[in-house]
Chain A
Amino acid sequence: SQQGEEDPQALSIQEGENATMNCSYKTSINNLQWYRQNSGRGLVHLILIRSNEREKHSGRLRVTLDTSKKSSSLLITASRAADTASYFCATEETSGSRLTFGEGTQLTVNP
């Protein structure tokens, strides 16, 4: 079963606004990763945050990780219509290298 749960399932915002997506998990992890998927396409790796890191930035992306709460958030600042996609978190458990994906958040950025 998927251990990652994402919130919200769907998010619709206007261009220029910030988008925040949350992910919760259940087990101990080595790292947590965020991916983006355009409809019917493969996944694009966005950012990886290790279990000993609390925050990471990459361009307009900001990821936080709270291992005590077993949760992570992805913030996309100054969103663009091209950011419209599904966003998935995935955790790599300490027991191995397999990734467990969350259910995803469908983000729609309206121009």
Chain B
Amino acid sequence: GAVVSQHPSRVICKSGTSVKIECRSLDFQATTMFWYRQFPKKSLMLMATSNEGSKATYEQGVEKDKFLINHASLTLSTLTVTSAHPEDSSFYICSARGLELTQYFGPGTRLLVL
């Protein structure tokens, strides 16, 4: 299957700093990328949908100024958690979708805000 990578896989930062997470589709062009958040032993919650070259569509309750999403190319989307706080600590997972119906998921990024 298609490969999606995320970087970094794990990040620890101080409260108040910003963290950028990259999501790359390695062997296909992703017209749409999705960002999810997952709390321990819980399901995935969709945060936003981004289409290449256009603004992301955020789910209800997700602050767009807090979670900045950029989908500048067909193989790269970034999520920036601005002014991170301990409650932003979570597992962030991206997925990418090309012309097929299947979404391919990245391995996730574990964020810990101290």
Which residues of A come within 8 Å of B, CB atoms? 2, 4, 30-31, 33, 35, 40-45, 48, 88, 92, 97-104, 106
Residues of A within 8 A of B110 (CB): 40
A100 & B101 in contact (Cβ 8 Å cutoff): no
Set of chain A residues within 8 Å of B6, measured between Cβ atoms = 42
Determine the residue in chain A with the shortest Cβ distance to B36: A101
Contacts of B41 in A (CB 8 A): 106
With A31-B101, A97-B97 known to touch, is A103 a contact of B43 (CB < 8 Å)? yes
- Residue B104 CB within 8 A of the other chain: yes
With A48-B101, A99-B46, A104-B43 known to touch, is A42 a contact of B106 (CB < 8 Å)?
yes
Q: How far is the CB of A7 from chain B (nearest CB, A)?
A: 14
Residue from A30, A31, A88 in contact with B44 in the complex, judged by beta carbons closer than 8 Å: A88
Query: B101, A42: Cβ atoms under 8 Å?
Result: no
Residues of B within 8 A of A88 (CB): 43-44
Contacts A33-B102, A101-B44 hold; do A41 and B108 have CB atoms under 8 A apart?
yes
Over the window 84-114 of chain B, the binary record of Cβ atoms lying under 8 Å from chain A Cβ atoms (1 yes, 0 no) is 0000000101010100011111111010000
Query: Which chain A positions have C-beta within 8 A of B103?
Result: 33, 45, 99
**Which residues of chain B come closer than 8 Å to A102, judged between CB atoms?**
43
Docked-complex contact B43 and A101, CB < 8 angstroms: yes
Q: Are B32 and A45 in contact (CB under 8 A)?
A: no
**A92 to B97, alpha carbons, bound, how many Å?**
13
Specify which of A2, A33, A92, A98 is in contact with B43 (CB 8 Å cutoff): A2
CA A31 to CA B101, docked complex, whole Å: 9
Point out the residues of chain A lying under 8 angstroms from B34, CB to CB.
Answer: 98-99
